[in-house]
Structures are given as structure tokens and as C-alpha cells.
Structure 1
Amino acid sequence: MKKAGLVWLSWQGRRAVPAWFATVDGQYVVLADRAASAEQPLPGLADAGSAEVVVPAKPANNQLARWTAAVRRLEPGSEEWTAAALVLRTERLNAAGLDTQLDRWRSEADILVLEPTGAASGLDDGSPYAPPVGSPATTRGRKPITLHRRVRRRPKLS
């Protein structure tokens, strides 16, 4: 977690989504948007109670570790909330409106602590790939005959 810039979070059977985080006094803290603003949309994470955290390795197609976390919401305005918000503020890249950022977070977002509840598992626990999302889209029929084949006869250029 020390070298990861973001983690993938999944909760309540949802598909995993990326989330940036910060480490505050040995705890992992994420900012979850409560309203429809543009901070970090993680709908329902504050009420989930637990989430699965996947830490990606530097090659983006590998996972380094996977662990389950208990999700705890910090009360806005508390001393713990203020300390976490100040650290998250330094980790937030390309932030707009720095002078009103903490007030916006107090009213429109939740600061959540991810507390590990069990042992982390590594790469040997099965495939890291998720099954594709179901879709009503289908193929129209047979593939065209010329798909991935070279043209045998080339037209004359003169």
C-alpha cells in the first residue's frame, strides 16, 4: 500500500472501481462523494459496512494483494476528520477551488477509514480477471469471409 497511488474497491457485489487514498496515522482513508459533485464518486460505500480492496502492482494488469476492509465514516468537524482531510488535501491531484475544498468535503463528501479485517491474499487465489458485464448486445450473424485474410489477387494499377 505504501507504493500504490490508488486501489480498486468493490462493495455489495458491485464491480470494482478505482479510488485514490491516503495513509493517516497508519490508517487508510478514502474520500467518497455523497452528492453529485466531481470529487470521487463511490456511491453507497459509506453505508456498505465492508469492502474488498485490491492493490494493483505497477504493471496495471496485475494485482499485488487483495484484502477485506471494514468501512468506518468519520464525523465531519471532528479532530480525526480534520487530520484526515488535511492529508487527503495534499494527495488530491488537480483540485479546483482549494480555498473552499474542506468546506465542500464537509457538506458534500464522506471521509471513510478502511480498516483491515483479515489476512491479505496474494496472487495465487485464482484469476485476477472479472467476468464481463452482461449485455443484450449480440453478433448479427456469421463473420465476413474476408475477415483476417489476405486478398489473393491484387488489382492492376495501370
Structure 2
Amino acid sequence: MSTEEAVAEIAGVMKKAGLVWLAWDGGRPVPAWFATVDGQYVVLADSADGAEQPLPGLAAASAVEVVVPAKPATNRLASWKATVRRLEPGSDDWTAAAQVLRSERLNAAELDTQLERWRVEADILVLEPTGEISESAGRYDAALRTEAPVPTRATTRGKPPMTLHRPVRRRPKLS
């Protein structure tokens, strides 16, 4: 398979994904949300102890394995290799990527200062496909990839919503 065909296959698989698993430097895969900007796949990585997705060491990594899971199931659609490139804050590419990431960011806090906070506290990284697909339809690794969840300080932002009704409890009919 040529590099162009591989990149086209990766683009087709990435259209079906909202989340990917990233593994770099021999570490365990970490979930990350991403956005597609002008055909490039960008992720927002927290460079300090901020409020964005923690991907420690990804900005310094030269290569990453991207595992694309299927949405309704727990299996994987594809796995491919990518190089990592950091966008320089304030550049035109950074601004375009930040605008797309901002529109796709769920549960964002402080929208008016979000871009400035990202400029200081986060890295916007581009995952550039190398053309190497390690797994895809019909070519899956048989190894089981289940692992315990990684400890995290992630939490909900507040109390769960209040329920205004009582839960329905039905008794069985006696006769």
C-alpha cells in the first residue's frame, strides 16, 4: 500500500472517530479527543498542571501510535503511526487549529479567556500520518489490550442535576 493510499484510509477511519488512544515512548495508550483542521489531526495537550487533557511528554515525543476505536463497540478500527509536530502559539496555523478545537471542546470553562489560557498553559500538536498502518480491517493484532484505568485527578465540575420526580417503584400484583 502506498503512502497516499494509507493516508486516504486513515482519513476514512478518522471521520468515524471522536476519540483516539495515543501511545508514545513505550507508554500505555491514553485517550485523547482531537479535531480535524484542514486535513490535519490536532490534539490539545496540557503543558502544565492546567485544566486541559493531560498528555505528559507527547509534545517531546517524535512518534506516536494512534489507535482508533469503533464508536458503538470496544474494538478498534485501525492503528497507525504518526509524527508529532507542535504548533507555535500565535502563528496562523495555531490560531486556525485553536478556533476549531474551541468549537469542538465540550464543557469548556471561561470561553472568553480560553484561547489566551491555551496559549500559555497548553500545546496544540499535529499528528501527521507516516503512512504506516499497523492494524486495519482484516489485519488485526490478536493481542488483548485491556489494562486498568490510569489514575487521574479528573472530576465533574459540579453536583449532578436535581431530579424533580420520585423514581417509579412498582410492586408486584398479589392476585
* TM more than 0.5: yes
Residue identity opposite 1:89 in structure 2: R
1:55–1:65 Cα contact (<8 Å) kept:
yes
2:88 alignment partner, SS class: coil
Indicate yes or no: 2:71 matched with 1:27.
Answer: no
Where does the alignment leave 5 or more consecutive residues of structure 2 unmatched?
1-13, 149-175
Q: TM-score, normalised by structure 1?
A: 0.80
Count matched residues: 133
Q: CA RMSD in A?
A: 1.4
Q: What corresponds to 2:166 in structure 1?
A: none
Where does the alignment leave 5 or more consecutive residues of structure 1 unmatched?
134-158
2:132 alignment partner, SS class: coil
Q: TM-score, normalised by structure 2?
A: 0.72
Residue identity opposite 1:45 in structure 2: L
Measured against aligned partners, the alpha-carbon deviations of 1:49-79 in whole angstroms (never above 9, x if no partner) come to 1100000012331000000000000000000
Indicate yes or no: 2:136 matched with 1:122.
Answer: yes
Alpha-carbon deviation of 1:131?
Answer: 6.1
Indicate yes or no: 2:106 matched with 1:93.
Answer: yes
Alignment of 1:103-122 (within 5 A): 103-120=116-133, 121-122=135-136
2:97 alignment partner, SS class: helix
In 1: Cα distance, 2:104 partner to 2:79 partner = 22
Look at both structures and tell me which one has the larger radius of gyration over its CA atoms. 1
Residue identity opposite 1:17 in structure 2: V
Percent of residue pairs identical: 71
